[in-house]
Structure 1
């Protein structure tokens, strides 16, 4: 039961020994596991919504910087797009492009 690392890939085994897939909540932290059971990092498109999973697999929320660009992720983890977040506008790609 719990996290298992094979090479550079992480998996999560449930109490019955089966690999978890899809969204997994551990405490207050969310992770996403592919159908193979492998933990996802980086951008994830799930049901037409973009999410960002940090290097440790944890779902990001709030303002994040990826490369040289800033994005805003709601408390649900969903990326904001085409909207104002306070004084900051994020475009259709979710990138902060202007300030009021």
Structure 2
């Protein structure tokens, strides 16, 4: 039970710290920041695939499947948002 409380404490602290760091980023740096968070999400996808593949218990398999689904959605939507943001910076040619 002690390890659960310490892990929960680290999770909550990381959540608040991450929120504060991202909140203070200027709008010009959002695209590189999104690319970095996509890379972090990809790392979490690999970790969740490892947990799913171990199949130690039914609970860990179910949680691994949920983590794989959530990580995949996060990675795909992050790339879609980054692509949309990059399209906003492209110069448009006026129709002749």
The higher-RCO structure (CA 8 Å, 6+ apart) is 2
- TM-score interval w.r.t. the shorter chain? under 0.3
- Tell me the TM-score normalised to structure 1 length: 0.22
- Tell me the TM-score normalised to structure 2 length: 0.22
Which has more radius of gyration? 2
User: Which structure shows the bigger proportion of residues in helix conformation?
Assistant: 2
